[in-house]
Amino acid sequence: MFDYIGSFLSRLWRISNFWRIPPFEQATAGVRVGSRLGGCLMFVFLLLCIVGLPLAIAGAIFGFTFDDVDRWLDGFGPSLDFIGTVLIQKVLMAIVLLVCVAIGAGLLFSRSAPDTPGWGKTILILLLCLAVGYCSTVNMLAPLDVRAG
């Protein structure tokens, strides 16, 4: 199944880069016909059309409109807000921080293994773990609602 999805997306990418016609053509937008950005915008446009067309047809068949879907999604607003603020901002960032600590500890405390990278690569990996861990920690410790304070 994943092979089919990958081949479908690659065919869609080849088609959109062959034509390279942007869905909108404005001189102020800076998108020309034949440019790489035009091909990329064509790919996004085709992908959204391929996803949206069956949904619109299913809505017409089963009797719901986009307003019904919008009201249904508005009902899930608090749940989606919880997922976005707590689960992603706190739990996922804590997992990323733990992975960074585990990678750093594994590199430092297993130096006797035969496949351990050299000190130069080790220092670069540790610096990368430090940067990612710092960003994760700052995001994790940030207040959930900045408008409240």
Domain check: are 105 and 125 in the same one?
A: yes
Domain check: are 137 and 107 in the same one?
A: yes
| Pick from 33-37, 72-76, 143-147: least confident | 143-147
Domain check: are 28 and 60 in the same one?
A: yes
In a domain, 35, yes or no: yes
| 8 A C-beta contact, residue 137 and residue 101 | no
- 51 has a pLDDT exceeding 80: yes
**Rounded percentage of the chain residues whose pLDDT exceeds 90:** 38
Task: Provide the domain count of the chain.
Answer: 2
String of b and e for 42-62 (b: at least 16 CB within 10 Å)?
bbeebeeeeeeeeeeeeeeee
For 56, the domain range is 2-66
Domain check: are 83 and 125 in the same one?
A: yes
**What is the C-alpha to C-alpha distance for residues 138 and 148, in angstroms, rounded to an integer?**
19
Backbone angles phi, psi at 144, to 5 degrees: -70, -40
Q: Of 66, 94, 119, which closes a domain? A: 66
